[in-house]
Amino acid sequence: MGKTKLNIEKTALGIEFGSTRIKAILIDEHHQSIASGEYEWESYYKDEVWTYDLEAVWAGVQAAYKQLKEEVKEKYEMTLTKVGAIGISAMMHGYLPFDKQYNLLTPFRTWRNTTTQKAAEELTALFQFNIPLRWSIAHLYQAILDGENHVEKIDFFTTLAGYVHWQLTGEKVLGIGDASGMFPVASQTFDYDEGMLKQFSELNVQHYPWKLKSILPRIKKAGEYAGSLTAKGAKLLDPSGELQTNIPFCPPEGDAGTGMVATNTVAEHTGNVSAGTSIFSMIVLDKPLSTFYPEIDIVTTPAGKDVAMVHCNNFTSDINDWLQLFADVFETMGMEVNMGDMFTKLFQEAMHADHDVGKLVSCNYYAGEPITGFETGRPLLVRMPDSKLSLPNFMRMHIYSALATLEIGMEILTKKENVDIDFILGHGGFFKTEKVGQQLMADSLAIPTTVMDTAGEGGPWGGAVLAAYSVNSNKEQSLENYLDKVVFAQEATNTVKPSVEGMESFKQFMENYRSVLEVEKAAIDAFK
C-alpha cells in the first residue's frame, strides 16, 4: 500500500526559538501537525549577561529541520524541497545590535537579563508608559547610560525572531506583536508611537549618527507579506541544498504572539497563559487601562490589538532541576528513567498534597523578577521544624511557587482594573499532564482554565498557522475570523473551574510565599 499523498503547496512550516529548545513543525492544509523536529539548547551566564551563541541558532535550526525532513521522508516517501509558507517566532525582547557590515556588536542579551533598571525607570517616567527591563529599548538606553562604545556603530537592532527572519529573507521587518516589545506601538497607526519616538530623540542621544526609528525593524501585521526565502537562507535552513528558494514568509513574531494564535486568544475578552521556562499571561483588552503599572506590559496581538501582559522571568527551571535530581537517584540505583513519564507521575502526586502543602514554601527565582522587585535570584526552599516533607506536598509547593508571581501580577488586572476574563487558555508543556497544571492554574488565578488538543504544541504550531494565514486567507478575513472559522472550528476543548478548596489552599500558600520573599532578599545579600 502506498504512502499518504501530501499536498506540499498547502503546507506551512513554523520554527520557534524557545528558551530551552528550537522546534520546527510542519502543518498540512487542515492545520494539523504532520512532522516535527527539535533541538535542545540553553542560555548561559557569561560576563554578567544571559546569552546564547548565534552559532547555536543555526546549528539548532538545521538539526530541527533535518529531523522534520526525515520524518516527511518516512511518512510520505518524498524529499522535502519546498513548503507553502514559513513563519519564524522566538522568545521576545532582548537586544541584538548590528553595524553596517552586519557584525553583532555585543553578545545577544536575552529577555532574562535584568540589568536595565535605571533605563527602564527613566523611560517609564518619560513616556508615562511601562517599559519593562527586558524590552529592547531598555537595553539600548541602558547601553547609552553606561557609555558603551558600540552604540554609535549601530545600524540596526532587533529581536531573535527578527534576526533569524532577516538572515533567511534579507528583510529587516518584525511582526507588530514582537515589535511592541522593542518599543511602544500605537494600535491606531500600527506603528511605533511617534510621540514617544520624539521624546526619546530629545534625550542624550542627539550626538549619535542614527535616529531611533531608522535602526528599528519595519512593522508588519499578521497576514502581510514579509519576504521570501533567499538562496543564502535556504542554505542556512537546509545545508544539503535541496530546499528551494522564494518560499513566502509571514512577519516574524514573538512567542507571546504565536501563543495567542495557538490558543485562539487574539479577540477581545480572551486570554491565555504560556507556561515554560518563563510564564506569562496575555489578556486582550477592549479598552485602555486607567493608568500604567510597572507589573503590566502593554503589547499587541499579531493583528495589532492591545494586550495586557504579565510576564514572569521564572517558571519551570527550579522544578526541572529537582526532577533531574530524582532521575539521578534512580539512575544511581541502576534504574532507567523516562523523564516524560516521571514528570507525569510526580505532577499527579501534587494532587494528593495536604491543604496547607505541609507548611512548605519555596522561591523559584533563578533570574531576577521585576514584578516583585528582584534584579537577581536565589532559588530556595524553606520549611519549619513541623513542616511535612512528603512527595505530594513537595510537588504541590513547587507548582504553587511557579504560579505565585503570575498571580501577583494578575491581581492588578482582576481586582484593580476589573478586567473581565471569562476563561484562560493554557498552553505549553506545563499543561501536558492531564488536569494537574490546568486545575492548579485555575485555583491560583480563580479563573476557569481551558486547554486544547494543541496545548502541548504551543508557539511553533502557532507560527505555522500564522504562515498559513498569510497565504491562505482572503484580504478581508481578519485573523480572529480565520482562527475561529477555519483553524479551530472543530477543535476540542476542556475547561476546569477553580475549586473552593484549591483556591483556599493557594491563598494560604501565598501568605507564606509573600513572607519568603523577605528570605529571598536576605539570600541575595548573603550569597554573592
In angstroms, the Cα distances linking 360 to 110, 367, 400 are: 32, 22, 10
Alpha-carbon distance of 21 to 40, in angstroms, equals 4
Rounded to 10 deg, the angle between the 136-145 and 117-127 helix axes is 110
DSSP 414: I
Rounded to whole angstroms, the Cα distance separating 195 from 127 reads 9
pLDDT number for residue 259: 86
Residue 378: inside a domain, yes or no? yes
Q: Position of cell 527578527?
A: 162
Amino acid at 74: E
Looking at the structure, tell me whether residues 189 and 234 fall in a common domain: no
Q: How far apart are CA 7 and CA 23, in angstroms?
A: 22
Chain position carrying cell 500604567: 292
Please tell me whether residue 473 adopts helix, strand or coil conformation. Answer: coil
d(C-alpha 26, C-alpha 35), whole Å: 5
CB atoms within 10 A of CB 426: 24
Number of Cβ within a 10 Å radius of residue 109:
22
pLDDT of the residue at 275:
85
- To 5 degrees, how large is the angle CA 50–CA 214–CA 192? 80
Q: How far apart are CA 106 and CA 97, in angstroms?
A: 7
Clarify whether residues 116 and 49 are in a common domain.
no
Q: Which residues pair with 87 in a beta bridge?
A: 14
pLDDT for 211-228, tens place per residue?
A: 999 999 999 999 999 999
**125 occurs within a structural domain:** yes
Q: Quick: pLDDT tens for 453-477.
A: 655 557 899 999 999 999 987 778 9
Same domain, 231 and 255: yes
Phi/psi for 443 (5° steps) reads -65, -40
Q: What is the 3-state secondary structure (H, E, C) of 222-282?
A: CCCCCCECCHHHHHHHCCCCCCCCCCEECCCEEHHHHHHHHCCCCCCCCEEEEECCCEEEE
How many other CB atoms sit within 10 Å of the CB of residue 100? 9
54 and 198 belong to one structural domain: no
pLDDT in tens, 98-126: 999 999 999 999 988 889 999 999 999 99
Residue 325 lies in a domain: yes
Output the CA–CA distances (angstroms, integers) from residue 165 to 16, 470, 499, in the order listed. Answer: 11, 15, 44
List of E strands, 347-411: 360-363, 367-369, 374-376, 380-383
pLDDT, position 286:
86
d(CA 61, CA 386): 50
Helix 317-332 and helix 339-349: axis angle, to 10°? 110
Residues 354 and 426 in one domain: yes
Is there a single domain that holds both residue 17 and residue 118?
Answer: no
- Do 509 and 382 belong together in one domain? yes
What local confidence, expressed as pLDDT, does residue 2 receive? 47
Q: How many domains does the chain have?
A: 3
Question: Are residue 327 and residue 448 in the same domain, yes or no?
Answer: yes
* CA-closest candidate to residue 219, choices 247, 189, 246, 244: 189
The pLDDT value given to residue 457: 59
Q: Could you tell me the CATH number of the domain that includes residue 148?
A: 3.30.420.40
Burial group, residue 325, by CB count within 10 angstroms (0-12, 13-18, 19+): exposed
State whether 323 and 433 are in the same domain. yes
In-domain check, residue 286: no
Q: Compute the C-alpha angle 182/379/48, nearest 5°.
A: 50
Half-sphere exposure of 376 (CA within 13 A, CB side): 13
Q: For position 3, what pLDDT does the model report?
A: 62
Residue 106 neighbours by CB distance under 10 Å: 18
Cell numbers found for residue 423: 476563561
The conformation of residue 412, written as its DSSP 8-state character, comes to I
* Distance from C-alpha of 110 to C-alpha of 19, rounded to nearest angstrom: 10
- Those residues of the chain that have pLDDT short of 70 are 1-4, 453-457
Distances from the Cα of 409 to the Cα of 116, 341, 375, 515, angstroms: 20, 32, 17, 17
In this structure, how many other beta carbons lie within 10 angstroms of the beta carbon of residue 270?
A: 21
On whether both 441 and 467 belong to a single domain, the answer is: no
334 and 402 within one domain: yes
Distance, CA of 359 to CA of 344 (rounded, Å): 24
**Is 305 among the domain residues?**
no
Query: Who contacts 302 (Cβ-Cβ below 8 Å, separation ≥6)?
Result: 175, 176, 177, 221, 222, 251, 253, 257, 258, 260, 261, 266, 466, 479
Of residues 281, 237, 225, the one with CA closest to residue 13: 237
Residue 292 maps to a domain: no
Q: Which of 378, 363, 323 is nearest to 510 (CA)?
A: 363
Host domain of residue 484? 1-91+164-170+224-263+458-492
Classify residue 112: in a domain, yes or no. Answer: yes
Q: Is 200 helix (H, G, I), strand (E, B) or coil?
A: helix
- β-strand pairing of 173-175 with 44-46: unpaired
Shared-domain flag, residues 416 and 362: yes
Say if 359 falls within a structural domain: yes
